[in-house]
Structure 1
Amino acid sequence: MFTLQLFTAIDALIFSLIACKKRSADIIKYLRSF
């Protein structure tokens, strides 16, 4: 379960980096809230 969550987090982070670098900062903030 944790591994799947980690993969999802990494995938979201990579996607945000490709889409918009500013978005990646928001994703990191969102992930750190957990």
Structure 2
Amino acid sequence: MKIELASSYGFCYGVKRAIEIAEEHKNSFTYGPLIHN
């Protein structure tokens, strides 16, 4: 089996932004996971 990784990978813009907002407001809570697939 050969496994190939994409040349670019990672979180999309929306996920990156959600993480940034969560880090700015450290005293907040979510009703579920911040990131899902």
TM-score (norm 1): 0.39
Larger radius of gyration: 2
1 or 2, which has the higher helix percentage?
1
Q: More relative contact order in 1 or in 2 (CA 8 Å, sep 6+)?
A: 2
